[in-house]
Structure 1
Amino acid sequence: MRYFITNVLPHHLSGKYKISYAAANFSWALIHSSVFDEVFSIAPLNVSGAIDDVDMPELVYSDWRKRGKILQKLAPIKESFLIFRKIKRNSNVWFYNISILNIVLFFLCKWFKPSAHCNVIILDIYIPKRKLSLEALFLWAINHANSTIKLSDSPLFTCKKTECLPGVVPFNAPLFPIIESVKAEFLLSGLLREDISQISLIIRVFSKIKNAALYITGFSEKEEEMKLECSKYPNIHYYGELSFNRYMDLLHKVSFLLSTRDPKEKGNQCNFPSKIIEGILHNRIIISTIKYKQLAGLKYFFVSSDEDELKNQIEGIIRMDSVGLIRYANQSNYAKSMFNPNRWGEIMNSLEKV
């Protein structure tokens, strides 16, 4: 038996219950494949009370979430025990990250059902700032798993049985619109935080490139400030958080998708931006401030985080002839061949061998 322990709700309810769309896309792509025999989901801590609109047999939802705040926070412990009882011996358990939601289940399996191998898909971690902290415990658990699949390389990950695979594309991914002619229209989306998107840098750069349009969507802790700053420039358009369908319309409108993580932030070496896989799948041209060896074979633009240099590079990309630019677009088949669930299944089979 092979189990998947994840932390999602039905895909269409991700926005309502504030589930990460990236987490939902990743988990459901694997859930809908034939990679796992059984799936269990422990909802994030913000999900509580009666969730009458959720119809999901994979969800293990204890009555503690319907009581006071203390029991709601402790609910994943009870849910871990409920799942632990269902896990068979001599099986393989694959955890979606190690976090406060599943750390109890990880140790239950490790200590009381050691024949059930604990494996981790490492999507994202918080770098421990202290030796004695929850983050340090999560990293210790990851490095003491039987095997791991990591989305990016980092010296923090020391498990000996490991493979690197930056994302997953669902089997049923449709044919998305191709780019027939490249327009100087750029999209920055996701968590609009300096370490994740270098949002201030990007706004400054595009404020000086009048012949390019920048569209920004996602979550910002400084929403009003962001709106005010972007309103100063006619070529910069700020949308805030969008519905899934409106986001897709915007993604298919632009030619370029920006991935502008700060390369100096150590945390950005421990994960891989799901937006890049999404952009490739949707045939957009990728511009990244980090060079990823996971994308060997793919054509994308690697750019600087220095303001003047980045401005010159963006202007240089805009000046490229259409024949040269179109080579960087329409690479959806690459994503489908490299990151489909079959490939994940093959890697899991290999890692699970004793």
Structure 2
Amino acid sequence: MKNSLFISQNVPNTLVKKYNVSQAANNFCLHINELGYFSHHVAIPPANIDQNFQNQIEENTGIEYHLCRVFKHKGIGKAINIILDNIWLYFRILKAPEKNIWFYNVWTGNLLSYLLIHALSFKKVYILLADYNPARYNRWIGKSILWAIRQAKGVVSLSGRCNEVNHNFSCIPGIIPKSKISEQIGNFHRNKCFLLSGTLNKNTGIELALDVFKNIPEATLFLSGIISDDYKIKVEEICRKYKNIIYKGFFEKHSEYLDLLHSVDFTLSLRDPLSIVNHYNFPSKILETLAYNKIVISTIEYPELNGINYLCAPYDKKRLTTYIENLINTDSKSNTTITACLNNTEILIKKYSEEAWYDVFRSMENK
């Protein structure tokens, strides 16, 4: 009998763009939901979601979405609404039959409910930690969150570099359902096309990508996803001036994104290796891309990807430009590194598919 319940901040996929929610985080929690390990999934969407949101149990996923928007969602009214979200969640979990409660991250929006469940119930509370940034723990709220994480019965993290947060710690950097891992060797078109997708901001490399591909007119850079407000004008101007840089927008249909992904040869993950945020986090989109046996170029060498074939490049405009120029001008037929990157199927199934997650959940709950 299933005895575990999952709590996330998901929204229905159709609302990701409207509310500027991370598509990667939403997809990750959907994959966790599809595991079938949890008997129920309750989602309390982020604090920026307004009173127009409709509480519902989603028919195709079974996810129970709930928000309290009793007051106008601004200022003090917004703060009260968030407190009510937490109180509602506490009583919802209190009456749930499941003994093991898993939170997807602990943050200011769910900290109160987490502490109430931990202190005032007989439930065992665990955390699936996808967003750990020690820089935020310098303030009292951050320190409270870190203290709360340490009180959990256990933590499964997407990053193996924050194992000090809890005595019962395991790491799996992402989940890829076995059915979504391609058994076909990746197709290499030799078309010199690159893709940067997801949430497009400075931290995810949009500025570096623009600066590099302005200087490589023979290569094409496709951008897709949601652009942060501070880069929207710049991206529009550069796309008008440089015809090899093309913004495709946000794809409402995942199939349209996959069509673009399959049409390029290289995908980009351009994060600053010196940033404290990137030191402790792992971008799950890398695994999503590897599942299709596409070639990933990353500016960080991740210990979580030990044994996986991908390309590591420097996080520097001049050196990255030279790296990409050399890459597109190399005879790919004789490049064994590229050939290896087109087939990660076996190791992905072993390390990141459903069975690996079943094992880590069971192991942690049985300690």
Compute the TM-score of the two structures, normalised by the length of structure 2. Answer: 0.87
Aligned residue in 1 for 2:321: 311
What CA RMSD, in Å, does the superposition of the two structures yield over aligned residues?
2.4
Paired residues for 1:277-316 under 5 Å? 277-316=287-326
Aligned residue in 1 for 2:265: 255
The answer as to 2:175 corresponding to 1:168 is yes
Assess, with a 3 A threshold, how the Cα gap between structure 1 residues 126 and 297 changes in structure 2: closer, same or farther. Answer: closer
Aligned residue in 1 for 2:342: 329
Aligned residue in 2 for 1:61: 66
Aligned residue in 1 for 2:111: 103
Q: Report if aligned partners of 2:57, 2:65 keep a CA contact under 8 Å in 1.
A: no
Tell which deviates more after alignment, 242-251 or 256-265: 242-251
How far does residue 179 in structure 1 lie from its aligned partner after superposition? 1.0
Unmatched segments (≥5 aa) in structure 2: none
Tell which deviates more after alignment, 334-343 or 122-131: 122-131
The answer as to 2:203 corresponding to 1:190 is no
How far does residue 30 in structure 1 lie from its aligned partner after superposition? 1.4
Task: Kindly provide the amino acid, as one letter, of the partner of residue 225 in structure 1.
Answer: K
Q: Matched residues in 1 for 2:210 and 2:190: separation?
A: 21
Assess, with a 3 A threshold, how the Cα gap between structure 1 residues 158 and 142 changes in structure 2: closer, same or farther. Answer: same
Paired residues for 1:264-283 under 5 Å? 264-283=274-293
The answer as to 2:89 corresponding to 1:80 is yes
Identity of aligned residues (%): 28
Q: Report if aligned partners of 1:10, 1:55 keep a CA contact under 8 Å in 2.
A: no
Aligned residue in 2 for 1:124: 131
Assess, with a 3 A threshold, how the Cα gap between structure 1 residues 36 and 66 changes in structure 2: closer, same or farther. Answer: same
Assess, with a 3 A threshold, how the Cα gap between structure 1 residues 176 and 18 changes in structure 2: closer, same or farther. Answer: farther
Q: Matched residues in 1 for 2:228 and 2:65: separation?
A: 31
Secondary structure of 2:160's partner?
Answer: coil
Aligned mate of 2:152, from 137, 145, 148: 145
Tell which deviates more after alignment, 77-86 or 24-33: 77-86
Task: Kindly provide the amino acid, as one letter, of the partner of residue 83 in structure 1.
Answer: R
Secondary structure of 1:349's partner?
Answer: helix
Q: Report if aligned partners of 2:105, 2:129 keep a CA contact under 8 Å in 1.
A: yes
The answer as to 2:26 corresponding to 1:24 is yes
Assess, with a 3 A threshold, how the Cα gap between structure 1 residues 157 and 76 changes in structure 2: closer, same or farther. Answer: farther
Q: Report if aligned partners of 1:179, 1:326 keep a CA contact under 8 Å in 2.
A: no
How far does residue 134 in structure 1 lie from its aligned partner after superposition? 2.5
Secondary structure of 2:41's partner?
Answer: strand
Aligned residue in 1 for 2:101: 93
Tell which deviates more after alignment, 265-274 or 241-250: 241-250
How far does residue 248 in structure 1 lie from its aligned partner after superposition? 2.2
How far does residue 123 in structure 1 lie from its aligned partner after superposition? 0.5
Q: Report if aligned partners of 2:177, 2:353 keep a CA contact under 8 Å in 1.
A: yes
Aligned residue in 1 for 2:361: 348
1:1-38 Cα distance to aligned partner (Å, 9 max, x none): 11111121333443344432112211111112222122
Q: Matched residues in 2 for 1:155 and 1:175: separation?
A: 31
Q: Report if aligned partners of 1:220, 1:240 keep a CA contact under 8 Å in 2.
A: no
Q: Matched residues in 2 for 1:243 and 1:23: separation?
A: 16
Tell which deviates more after alignment, 273-282 or 132-141: 132-141
The answer as to 2:244 corresponding to 1:235 is yes
Assess, with a 3 A threshold, how the Cα gap between structure 1 residues 8 and 310 changes in structure 2: closer, same or farther. Answer: same
Q: Matched residues in 2 for 1:52 and 1:161: separation?
A: 37
How far does residue 141 in structure 1 lie from its aligned partner after superposition? 1.5
Assess, with a 3 A threshold, how the Cα gap between structure 1 residues 211 and 193 changes in structure 2: closer, same or farther. Answer: same
How far does residue 174 in structure 1 lie from its aligned partner after superposition? 6.8
Task: Kindly provide the amino acid, as one letter, of the partner of residue 237 in structure 2.
Answer: L
Aligned residue in 1 for 2:211: 204
How far does residue 105 in structure 1 lie from its aligned partner after superposition? 2.2
Assess, with a 3 A threshold, how the Cα gap between structure 1 residues 279 and 9 changes in structure 2: closer, same or farther. Answer: same
Q: Report if aligned partners of 1:6, 1:42 keep a CA contact under 8 Å in 2.
A: yes
Secondary structure of 1:196's partner?
Answer: coil
Aligned residue in 2 for 1:44: 46
Q: Report if aligned partners of 2:43, 2:63 keep a CA contact under 8 Å in 1.
A: yes
Q: Matched residues in 2 for 1:130 and 1:107: separation?
A: 17
Secondary structure of 2:102's partner?
Answer: strand
How far does residue 149 in structure 1 lie from its aligned partner after superposition? 0.9
Aligned residue in 1 for 2:13: 11
Compute the TM-score of the two structures, normalised by the length of structure 1. Answer: 0.90
How far does residue 76 in structure 1 lie from its aligned partner after superposition? 1.7
Task: Kindly provide the amino acid, as one letter, of the partner of residue 352 in structure 2.
Answer: F
Q: Matched residues in 2 for 1:193 and 1:73: separation?
A: 27
Assess, with a 3 A threshold, how the Cα gap between structure 1 residues 339 and 23 changes in structure 2: closer, same or farther. Answer: same
Q: Matched residues in 2 for 1:327 and 1:21: separation?
A: 28
Q: Matched residues in 2 for 1:129 and 1:31: separation?
A: 29
Unmatched segments (≥5 aa) in structure 1: none
Task: Kindly provide the amino acid, as one letter, of the partner of residue 71 in structure 2.
Answer: R
Assess, with a 3 A threshold, how the Cα gap between structure 1 residues 189 and 176 changes in structure 2: closer, same or farther. Answer: farther
Secondary structure of 1:346's partner?
Answer: helix
